[in-house]
Amino acid sequence: LSFQPADPAFEARVRASFARQTIMVTIGATLTRVAPGEVEIRLPWRADLCQQHGFLHAGVVATIADSAAGYAAFSLFAADASVLTSEYKLHLLAPAEGELLIARGRVLKPGRTLTIAETEVYAVKAGSEKLCAKLIGTLVQLAARSDLPRSG
Amino acid sequence: LSFQPADPAFEARVRASFARQTIMVTIGATLTRVAPGEVEIRLPWRADLCQQHGFLHAGVVATIADSAAGYAAFSLFAADASVLTSEYKLHLLAPAEGELLIARGRVLKPGRTLTIAETEVYAVKAGSEKLCAKLIGTLVQLAARSDLPRSG
Amino acid sequence: LSFQPADPAFEARVRASFARQTIMVTIGATLTRVAPGEVEIRLPWRADLCQQHGFLHAGVVATIADSAAGYAAFSLFAADASVLTSEYKLHLLAPAEGELLIARGRVLKPGRTLTIAETEVYAVKAGSEKLCAKLIGTLVQLAARSDLPRSG
Amino acid sequence: LSFQPADPAFEARVRASFARQTIMVTIGATLTRVAPGEVEIRLPWRADLCQQHGFLHAGVVATIADSAAGYAAFSLFAADASVLTSEYKLHLLAPAEGELLIARGRVLKPGRTLTIAETEVYAVKAGSEKLCAKLIGTLVQLAARSDLPRSG
């Protein structure tokens, strides 16, 4: 599938919105690729983001997987629209262990209001990638709604 | 529904496992209630856990919702078993705004291998609770598997 | 939760739409209750609707569970709107065995465009009900769109 | 991905089990392909399987999508095991209209107890295929459990 972005400045718009997600700084996630309908986010393993067995917590996997799907959708939206996750399902397929997680989101079905997107998350261990999670979810395009925080 | 825990020391076991989830310290979540098949986790709002609009990121909501469901299931497991989330679905129903999130997980259907559990997450704003998310997921009981981290 | 229907004639509208679902006649399902945000559908067991073990096929469970959620949402819609299922998740909790299935759908969160609804499906065996499936899904309100079939 | 079936007679086993699903005869679905970890099911459009707009009902889409995923998993199971769907999520991406539906299921992650599988459903209209639904679900391998109906 290849998509035509509605907004030629989609990459700058995605990067600016991602930069406003304070959680990404807190957990050390970075946006490593933006293309029309596709986004990649990377997260190095850290001891303070784990569940009880020393693997990255499913919530951390979910955080980057959801954002990768959300920004994959957002990359195709109109310049003045905002994005919201309505729901997603996450399958945890293997432990989130190793040096690094890579979340690759892509749009499955774009739409005026609803966009369906998928993310595959890979755990990189000793340099080799293994599929560790898969997300499929529904993203909502809020037309003519600023992506900036609501001012106080 | 009321459940009979297999392990009378279930509460101490849940609390010890939760204490090993380093992510919970990182995001400031606390375990506020443990009962047979039911767990409550609370998380105060923090500026460094947000998405682009200044609400708590869906990944943070997912982190406590998933753990509430997981420990609700774990509370009914055998003393020497471990727990794993296989999959969940999360609906985001309202913005995660306000002072505090409260995630209440409960077992819907216990099982020897698979347990189905649900979590409702409430956003507390100006003291009043509003349902902001709902999770339903599948938890796996790993028999005779230590809940402790695997040693190096 | 109690809901105020936008259309006072909601029950007649739900019943008329259900009557146009030819699949319901084919599988023998009937609409047994309509209230604001709530719908009940019943289906007697039949040997020609089974999976390989002689239980009702999950697809039959899904058919009535999805329609119960859809019509629960539809009951709250505007008089000239149509309904579409965008996605749902179905947990199969116990075999769909016995004399009868009862699917009870209810709205969890109504919305102008998206409504989230849940259905619990009970298997009635020797007169007693057992929860056999749970669905949670997203219904879309298509404004000013006839619920009638598109003419050729 | 390519899979090694545990049972060399997997195709005959899948076909025999499918033949015991009476619902498939009722709705006119046929099993058109069986490979290790992959199954295809086809269903011609019929006026008595529709929802209110004259498209095939989502429950019919779900019936063949779920069975395609289930038999994709079952094709990799041991010769004496049975299969059960634990849960699935179904996204409806386009109307199920046209002459024919084709459901293609494939295993995403095989496992001793839990297998994750996906199905893509295509609507064939005027000879061209369009993705109309996607399912992802959890299948359970019941070891040493006959796939035959339980006798009375």
> Could you report the per-residue pLDDT of D5-48, keeping only the tens digit for each?
999 999 999 999 999 999 999 999 999 999 999 999 999 999 99
Other Cβ atoms less than 10 A from the Cβ of D49: the count is: 26
Q: Say if residue A152's pLDDT is above 90.
A: no
Closest residue of chain B to C91, computed from CA coordinates: B116
Check pLDDT > 70 for residue D1. Answer: no
Q: Which two tokens stand for residue C87?
A: 């996605």
**Using the beta-carbon criterion (under 8 Å), do A134 and D134 form an inter-chain contact?**
no
What pLDDT score does D150 carry? Answer: 56
Largest CA distance in chain D: 47
Q: Which of B112, D4, D53, A36 is nearest to C145 (CA)?
A: D53
> Which stretches in chain B have pLDDT values below 50?
152
* pLDDT above 50 (res A32): yes
Burial of residue D101 (number of CB atoms within 10 Å: 0-12, 13-18, 19+): buried
Residue A146: predicted pLDDT: 78
Closest among D137, D76, D112, D83 to B143, alpha carbons compared: D112
Q: Taking a contact as any Cβ pair under 8 Å apart, which residues of chain A between 15 and 54 contact chain B?
A: 17-18, 20-23, 25-27, 47-54
The verdict on D117 touching C (C-beta cutoff 8 Å) is no
> What confidence category does residue C145 fall into, taking pLDDT thresholds of 50, 70 and 90?
confident
CA atoms within 13 A on the CB side of D15: 8
* Digit-coded pLDDT (tens) for A9-26: 999 999 999 999 999 999
Amino acid at C119: T
pLDDT over 60 (residue C10): yes
| pLDDT score for A1 | 64
Q: What angle do CA B82, B87, B88 make, to 5 degrees?
A: 115
d(C-alpha A134, C-alpha A117), whole Å:
11
Tokens standing for D7? 């049972």
Binary contact (A23, B48; C-beta < 8 A): yes
- In this prediction, residue A74 carries a pLDDT of 98
Which of residues 65 through 94 in chain C touch A, CB cutoff 8 A?
Answer: 86-87, 89
**Separation of CA B88 from chain center:** 12
Tell me the one-letter amino acid at C150. R
Nearest CA in chain C to D91: C87
Q: Is the pLDDT of residue C151 over 80?
A: no
Mean pLDDT on D53-76: 97
Phi, psi of B76, deg, nearest 5: -100, 0
How many Cβ atoms sit within 10 Å of the Cβ of residue A2? 7
User: What ipTM goes with this model?
Assistant: 0.94
Grouping H, G, I as helix, E, B as strand and the rest as coil, residue B28 is coil
For residue A113, what pLDDT is reported?
A: 96
Answer positive or negative: Cα dihedral of B62, B68, B69, B73.
Answer: positive
D4 min Cα distance to partner chain C (Å): 24
Cα separation, D122 vs D64, whole angstroms: 11
Mean pLDDT, chain C, as a whole number?
A: 95
Q: Which residues of B touch C138 (CB under 8 A)?
A: 91
Counted across chains B and C, CB pairs separated by less than 8 A come out at 30
- The closest of D140, D117, D121 to D129, measured between CA atoms, is D121
Buried b (16+ CB within 10 A) or exposed e, A8-36: eebbebbeebbeebbbbebbebebeebbb
How many angstroms away from the CA of D71 is the closest CA of chain C?
Answer: 11
Distance between CA atoms of D118 and D136, rounded to whole angstroms? 4
**Of the candidates D65, D58, D62, which has an alpha carbon nearest to the alpha carbon of residue D105?**
D65
* Rounded-to-integer distance, Cα B35 and Cα C115, Å: 32
Mean pLDDT of the D78-96 span: 96
What is the pLDDT, as a whole number, of residue B147?
79
Helices C58-74 and C10-19: angle between axes, nearest 10 degrees: 150
Write down the pLDDT at residue B152.
Answer: 38
By CB neighbour count within 10 A (0-12 exposed, 13-18 middle, 19+ buried), where does A128 fall?
A: exposed
Interface test with D, best of B90, B114, B139, B140 (most D CBs within 10 A): B114
Using a CB-CB distance cutoff of 8 angstroms, which residues of chain A are in contact with residue D119?
none
Tokens 């293994």 locate to A130
Hey, is the C-beta of B115 within 8 angstroms of any chain D C-beta? no
Are B63 and A58 within 8 A, CB to CB?
Answer: yes
Convert the pLDDT of each residue in A46-87 to its tens digit: 999 999 889 999 999 999 999 999 999 999 999 999 999 999
**Percent of chain D whose predicted confidence (pLDDT) is above 90:** 89
What pLDDT does residue B1 have?
A: 64
